[in-house]
Chain A
């Protein structure tokens, strides 16, 4: 069975600084995707970034980038130039492509607060 671990329950960062959220996972599968979702207070989860396991190149989306270390089963999220609007709960999620259902396995989340 797959598991996803986010070891940082809460983090804070000063506006305009950089912060890294960690995520590790455990799987014996080879064909999978990893995702980071953001959940602002009282709002729905929004996709931040995704990474295909077969790609060696780390995904980037504007100020968001990942450090994907497949051998170490690590998938951290880096937020550069943090903005107040980045304040949210961040969830790491694993999806096994070969399952056919594309369900997600989530981590427990990291609550990020960006300070003015």
Chain B
């Protein structure tokens, strides 16, 4: 069964550095998402992406964050200048288009981001 893949599985970065988290969604999917989960807290929506543009973003997704789908297969999340509070597990998800709204999202394994 097709899967969403995320790399790396664990990223350690110094505060203030830029980091790029990578995701390869399922190939025929059209909706893409990033979520994050700070340790011990709930999974939070960051951003959704459809038709090569952001369709919705949360208040967490400030100017330090950006997303791209540079080559039609990868979907990346960039954090420009990382802060300690960006330490979290980041999940990528993708969803197929369908005439019914009940298409579920498919999730990757996540990238654990640790900011030192």
A contact residues vs B (CB 8 Å cutoff) = 33, 35, 37, 42-47, 50, 52, 91, 97, 99-109
Contact = CB atoms under 8 A, between A and B. Distances in A.
Contacts of A107: 42
A91 B43 CA distance: 9
Contacts of B56: 99, 101, 103
Nearest to B107: A45
A50 B110 CA distance: 22
B101 A47 contact: no
B99 interface: no
Given A99-B56, A101-B48, A106 B43 contact: yes
B110 to A, nearest CB: 7
A105 B45 contact: yes
Contacts, number: 55
List 5 A-B pairs, minimum CB-CB distance, nearest first: A45-B107, A106-B43, A101-B56, A101-B48, A108-B42
Contact of B48 (A37, A42, A103, A106): A103
Interface of B: 3-4, 31, 33, 35, 41-45, 48, 50, 55-56, 91, 93, 95, 101-110
A44 B104 contact: no
A33 B91 contact: no
A107 B29 CA distance: 25
A44 B101 contact: no
Contacts of B95: 102
Given A97-B101, A99-B56, A102-B95, A44 B109 contact: yes
Contacts of B107: 37, 44-46
B72 to A, nearest CB: 21
A93 B69 CA distance: 26
Given A52-B102, A106-B44, A108-B42, A45 B31 contact: no
